[in-house]
Structure 1
Amino acid sequence: MRAVYLLLCLALARCASASIFRHQLRPHTDSLIVQPLDYVDQYQQHAKETKMHLRGPVSSSEETKERISYDDLNDYASPLRSGDRNWNSPLFSAMITPGEPIPFGDVISWHGVEIATGAKSLVKDKKDIERIFNNAYNNMQHLSEEDKKKIHETFETTTLAANEDVHLNATQLIKKHGYGVEEHVVKTDDGYFLTLFRILPRQVSLEEKPRPVVFLMHGFLGSADEWLLNGPEKSLAYLLSEAGYDVWLGNVRGTTYSRRHVSKHESHPDFWHFSIDEIALHDLPAMIDYTLKTTEQKKLHYVGYSQGSTVFFAWVATHPEVRDKIVSMHALAPMVYMTNVRSPLIRMISPASRFYERIAQELGHGEFKLSKELIQTVGGDMCEKEIGCKHVCSNVNFVMTGVDTAGIDTELIPVIVSHLPGGASTRQIKQFGQAVSSHEFRKYDYGIDINKKIYGLRHPPKYNMTEVKVPVSLYYSEEDWLVHPKDVERLQKELPDVRGTFKVSEKHFSHMDFQFSKKAPEVVYKWLIESIKKTKTY
């Protein structure tokens, strides 16, 4: 009898483990629409999708009809298509228990990337992997063995204990360097509470005139922290304050300092049902208007890094009248057009990618968080093999934007890892992935049926860059994984008032180097501050 019980327990354990790694077939769509709610009857929409799913396997003729209606060249993002899904396909080799036979073929190994191949898998040969990872891999080859050793040493216990910045928040970081700081909380018109930080000068004269305002907006998965971590000699926020500007740091919804809502809690997916569109429509105007009202100024200078540029262009393109509030806009590594992106993660989350369905299912519909296995799949394993530091290569910011740490002081790397990622929604990363496939800068794509209800169109409308009639300066680098020079060139041609396009002269300069490189003050910030000074306020 004991033997029977033992066999029964083993069988149940095997089924339980299988359910962890094998995804069940279920509807996969962004069916919960937050802004506005009355655009779609969500219950009916979900029921419709469930009915589609329950009708069972489709015949080849039915599948052909479905592809014609939902999967032509322009309809790549329809989440209602399910006929060609292979939910049994492995996403990464870590899903397969070591020692057990691989049911999908052999494992392809390519520079630390291991993905199962075979007739039922997502990958057919090494060319599939190379298309996604090759450009990113090539940009990692200049790090010396000495640099890699220093990175590893900075994460030793004694070194970490001596670096207090690892544990300090934005307010504490600012005060540590002798600056005053104000914290302001702004409520958006859809109920999110956003925290703003204002840096006060170290020395204030009673006769000093009001300072021109510069508003700094962080990047994707960042927060106000990223403007401060490099210290007073190298961080743009402090350099602008020393140059005589009233510096404000924004934090969009979902980030470290903006995780409150009037009725939603961050632990529930509803809190995270926003894309870049909502940030541009609600967060940016709330923060900009509050800053201008508090400082009693009519206009301000705007500096956006990465996604901070994305939301600005989306905001002004949608509401051209707000240009009267902007003196100048400075876009550091502007993530707008993403056609030539080199980041494996962004390419794999593109709806045109073979990996899209599985990765989207892994991510879900709430906060953007990657499991350990998923980080390994989208570049972590390749990174660890090349760099040799699991602390860096398990951090999604480095894995997504490029592990090019040659320009960063090694003692700063643990500080970056401790503060980033700062939080984001899954829809934000999906929207960047959609831009890769569509070759356009568009609003969020919910799929054809929901798009029709929200936008009145099969596809989301484009953001028209010709409406961004403010003085813009663009800053980019040659080896940025997220912002390719060709995509910046396209943006430059479409914007009506580009005052300057600055290519960073440093040879190896990555996406994160715009914030953390020790050479950023010389090769980027000097030109940015000079450009601000030259722009007439009124």
Structure 2
Amino acid sequence: MFDHKPTKILTANKINILAIWLVIGSILFYSASKYPLQETFKTVYSHIPGWIEPDDDVGRDIFDLINSRGFEYESHFVETVDGYILQLVRLVNPFTKYNQTRYRPVILSHGVECTGSEFLINNPGYLNSDGTYLEWDENDNLINGSEKITNTLGFTLCSYGYDVWLVNFRGTIYSLNHTKLDINDPEYWRFSMDEMVNIDLPLMIDYILATTTSDTLTYIGHSQSNILMLALMSENDHYQQLVKPFIALSPTWHLTNVRSNLVFFNLFEPYLKLSPGPLVFHDMKTVRSVLSTLCSNRMIRWICYQIYDMSVGYQPSDIRLDRFPVHIYNIPSGASNDNAIHHMQTWRTGRVSHYDHGLEKNLLLYNQSEPPLYNVSRINSAHMAFFQASHDRISSIEGNIQLKQQLSTPLLEDYVINRTDFDHMSFVWSKHAGILVNEKILQLLSLYENDNQTC
């Protein structure tokens, strides 16, 4: 029997740090939302001792990030049956764009409160005129993509000729539009992971396959996106045939032995249930700007870092601390209260099921008192690879063992990274992601290079 109770991880010092952070954050959030004067705040705050000028990537949206590296992009929009307008961003290597579709399309699918930009912000870099991507590490040493695998997954795959699609689920900053509802309308936010599983994800897969005329595609998910794909495959056999391979970076299915302070969101569930709404704030840009500015001060940054580390893991030996304001600027990026509640239900019950609406509505929607399980034993795909970390504070090895025991077929790859400083966000932001993650991904993708080439 697995224990789903949170591990006691908060020391007295960390509680004090958390209290300080909550007080500072509350004041700043209130001020920023009531008086949207981010530039004034930055000007005043920059005169406080310890100020460090933020990285150029702070303030850049996903499109600016792409252009700043020398890549191009295409924006694609799809409309869901319930009116949400989802934006898909396709990376284009201008030096190889006529040859870009020689490999199957690759979806990069983000975690909760993230967007496609999480796959673009590991290192600064630029695209060489020969189509090679180059990056700078924290010591300003050049990483030549033709000699060593670079760390930033999205740009790395595109420079290797893959047709990369960055998807953005409903409620995120790049998919906020709706045919009828405004984001200030509570009804806009009435969605959980179920809608992403049953509506958003299959729609985006179908659109990409139709646009590229490919028969299959690669899906690389991080965190929540792996829950979505596993749930979709368990409900619809068709997508088991379309996704080859499915690479799960931190599978995050069974929330067993979670060592993150995020479990304490469970205390706020009654409040979140009062009304549908955004998990953080409507004005995400203001929140992200204030947080990234706040954490640009070296005297405050360690507090920011401690909170982040306690949540999703952030070790300076593994993730560049100088990139912290960039990461903060890109997370949070939008999610609903019901999305968070759905995760809480999974953690509390140990069951990965449809959203629990309560007895009366469950009987109406599901014809049973409890929400039905997403039955992963129905998945028989031989094209799934799990990338796990032994010290992932959210996706534990024990939880992944339980998941693998439920699957009907062995994994294509069962890969565990055994580093004490490699954690949940390390899969996309580690200093060693090129060697530990991206190189392994490219090896797996090479197995499919001659399968279903489009030109």
* TM-score, normalised by the number of residues in structure 1: 0.64
1:249-328 equivalent positions in 2, closer than 5 A: 249-328=166-245
2:12 counterpart of 1:110: yes
Partner of 2:146: none
CA contact (8 A) 2:100 2:162 kept: no
Question: What is the letter of the counterpart of residue 451 of structure 2?
Answer: T
Q: Distance in 2 between matches of 1:307 and 1:423?
A: 13
1:428 equivalent in alignment to 2:339: yes
Query: Structure 1 residues 113 and 299 mapped into 2: Cα distance closer, same or farther (>3 Å)?
Result: same
How far has the Cα of 1:157 moved from its partner? Answer: 4.2
Please tell me whether the aligned partners of residues 342 and 482 of structure 1 are also in contact (alpha carbons under 8 angstroms): yes
Shift of 1:400: 2.9
Q: Which amino acid aligns with 2:412?
A: R
Which residue of the partner structure matches residue 456 of structure 1?
Answer: 367
Q: Given residue 524 of structure 1, which amino acid in structure 2 is its aligned partner?
A: V
Listed one character per residue, the Cα deviations across residues 146-194 of structure 1 (whole Å, up to 9, x for unaligned) are xxxxxx9xx954421xx22101111111111111211111111111001
Supply the distance in 1 between the matched residues of 2:113 and 2:269 (Cα, whole angstroms).
22
| DSSP-derived class of the 1:327 partner | strand
Q: Which residue of 2 aligns with 1:178?
A: 70
Alpha-carbon contact 2:101-2:161 (below 8 Å) kept: no
- 1:504 pairs, out of 410, 417, 442, with 417
Q: Is the 8 A contact 2:106 2:165 kept in 1?
A: yes
Cα distance between partner residues in 2 of 1:343 and 1:509: 14
Query: Does the alignment pair 1:493 with 2:405?
Result: yes
Summarize the Cα distance change of 1:190–1:409 in structure 2 as closer, same or farther, 3 Å threshold: same
1:480 is aligned to: 392
1:204 to 96, 111, 119: 96
Which of 318, 341, 362 is matched with 2:258 structurally? Answer: 341
CA distance, structure 1, for counterparts of residue 171 and residue 112 of structure 2: 11
Change (3 A) 1:524 1:417: same
Task: Map residues 435-446 of structure 1 onto 2, 5 A cutoff.
Answer: 435-446=346-357
**Structure 1's 207 and 304: CA in aligned 2 closer, same or farther, altered over 3 A?**
closer
Shift in alpha-carbon separation, 1:201–1:114, aligned structure 2, 3 A? closer
Q: CA deviation at 1:370?
A: 7.7
CA deviation after TM superposition for structure 1 residue 110, in Å: 2.6
Deviation at 1:195, TM superposition (A): 0.8
One-letter amino acid of the structure 2 residue matched with residue 537 of structure 1: D
Q: Select 1:533's aligned residue among 439, 442, 446.
A: 446
Tell me which of 177, 187, 192 is aligned to 2:79: 187
RMSD: 3.0
Greater shift after overlay, 239-248 or 200-209? 200-209
Q: How does 1:342-361 map to 2 (within 5 A)?
A: 342-346=259-263, 348-350=264-266, 355=267, 360=272
- Larger mean CA deviation between 279-288 and 334-343 belongs to 334-343
Q: CA deviation at 1:390?
A: 5.6
Structure label with greater radius of gyration = 1
> With CA pairs under 8 Å and 6+ residues apart, which has the higher RCO, 1 or 2?
2
1: CA distance, partners of 2:440 / 2:373: 31
Shift of 1:435: 1.1
Output the CA distance in 1 between the equivalents of 2:413 and 2:391: 20
Q: Secondary structure at the match of 1:525?
A: helix
Tell me the CA shift for residue 510 of structure 1. 1.3
Q: State how far apart, in whole Å, the 2-side matches of 1:367 and 1:512 are.
A: 23
Q: Which amino acid aligns with 2:104?
A: P
| Whole-angstrom distance in 1 between the partners of 2:306 and 2:166 | 24
Aligned equivalents of 1:531 and 1:425: distance in 2? 34
CA distance in 1, matches of 2:166, 2:68: 17
Aligned amino acid, residue 159 of structure 1: E
Cα contact 1:191–1:262 (8 A) shared by 2: yes
Counterpart CA distance in 1 for 2:109 and 2:424 is 15
Structure 2 unmatched runs, 5+: 1-9, 18-45, 126-149, 283-290
Letter in 2 for 1:528: I
Instruction: Say whether the 8 Å CA contact 1:299–1:537 is kept in structure 2.
Output: no
Change (3 A) 1:318 1:156: farther
Q: Deviations over 1:56-82 (max 9, x none)?
A: xxxxxxxxxxxxxxxxxxxxxxxxxxx
Distance in 2 (alpha carbons) for counterparts of 1:454 and 1:396: 39
Shift of 1:469: 2.7
Q: What is the match of residue 5 of structure 2?
A: none
Contact 2:254–2:400 (CA under 8 A) maintained in structure 1: yes
CA change 1:480–1:246 in 2 (3 A) is: same
Q: State the alpha-carbon separation in 1 of the partners of residues 252 and 268 from structure 2.
A: 20
Paired with 2:367 and 2:327, the residues of 1 have a C-alpha distance of 43
SS of the residue corresponding to residue 389 of structure 1 reads helix
**Following TM superposition, by how much is the alpha carbon of 1:287 offset from its aligned partner in structure 2, in angstroms?**
0.9
How far apart are 1:208 and its partner, in Å? Answer: 6.8
Residue segments in structure 1 that go unaligned for 5+ positions in a row: 1-107, 116-151, 372-379
Aligned to 1:105: none
Identity %: 27
CA deviation vs aligned residue, 1:275-314 (integer Å, no higher than 9, x gap)? 0010111111111111111111111010000011111111
Give the match for residue 159 of structure 1. Answer: 53
- Partner of residue 517, structure 1: 430
Length-normalised TM-score, structure 2: 0.75
What SS does the corresponding residue of 1:111 show, helix, strand or coil? helix
Give the deviation of 1:395 after TM superposition.
Answer: 10
Q: Distance in 1 between matches of 2:305 and 2:272?
A: 19
One-letter amino acid matched to 1:287:
M
CA distance in 1, matches of 2:322, 2:365: 48
